[in-house]
Amino acid sequence: MSGHIVTVDRIACDGFGTCAQLLPERIILDEWGYPIIDPTPVKGSEHQHAKRAVNACPRLALKLVKAPHDAPARPVAQRR
Partner 1 sequence: MTSTTRPAPTSGSGAISPRLLGDAVGVDLGKHVKAFGPLPSQHKVKRGHAGPLVAEVEASGLAGRGGGWFPTGRKMNAVVSAAGASRKDPIVVVNAMEGEPAASKDSVLVHRNPHLVLDGAVLAAQAVGSPVAYVVAHRGSRSVGTLERAVAQRTGDPVELRVLSAPARYVASEESALAHFVGEGIGLPVTVPPRVFESGVRRRPTFLSNAETFAHIALIARRGSGWFRQVGDPPQPGTMLVSVSGAVAQPGVVEVPTGTTMRQILGLAGGTTGSVAAAVTGGYGGAWVSAGAAIDLPFSVDGLRPVGGVPGAGVLAVLPTDACGLVETGRVVQWMAGQSAGQCGPCRFGLAAVSQDFAMLAGGKLKRTGLGALEKRLGIIPGRGACRHPDGVVRFAASALQVFGDEVQRHLSGQCSAGRRTFVLPVPAGKVDLPVARPGEEWR
Interacting residue ranges for partner 1, rule: CB under 8 A: 9-15, 30-34, 36, 77, 80
Minimum CB–partner distance for residue 44 and partner 1 (Å): 26
Contact, 2 vs 43, CB < 8 A?
Answer: yes
> Which residues are registered as beta bridge partners of 5?
65
* Strands 62-66, 4-8: pairing kind: antiparallel
Minimum CB–partner distance for residue 10 and partner 1 (Å): 4
Minimum CB–partner distance for residue 58 and partner 1 (Å): 14
Q: Based on CB atoms, which residue is closest to partner 1, 31 or 69?
A: 31
How far is 73 from 10, CA to CA, in rounded Å?
A: 22
